[in-house]
Amino acid sequence: MKTIFTYYVNILWILNALLLVTATFGYVSWFAPLAILIYTFVVLRVKTNIFKYECRNAEPHPC
C-alpha cells in the first residue's frame, strides 16, 4: 500500500514540476525537455532508493 502511495506522489510531483517548467519557460523552450529529463532521473533515483530500503527492511528478505 505504501509503495502505491509513493508512486502516485511521484507522479503528482512530476506533473507539478512539468506545469511549473511550462509556465515559467514556455512549452517550446529548450529548457523544458532538459528539466523533464532531470526531474524524471531524480524521481527514479528516489524511487529505487525507497524500494531498496523497503526491500532491506522486509522480514522475509526478497532480495
Cell of 3: 509503495
- Domain housing 40: 2-57
Cell of 10: 511521484
CA distance 7 to 50: 10
Residue 53 covered by a domain: yes
CA distance 24 to 8: 24
Question: How many domains in the chain?
Answer: 1
Residue 39 covered by a domain: yes
Residue 62 covered by a domain: no
40: closest CA among 14, 19, 8?
14
Residue 63 covered by a domain: no
Residue-wise pLDDT tens digits, 13-47: 877 877 777 776 665 566 667 777 888 888 778 77
Answering whether pTM is above 0.75, one says: no
In this structure, are residues 15 and 36 in contact, taking their beta carbons and an 8 Å threshold?
no
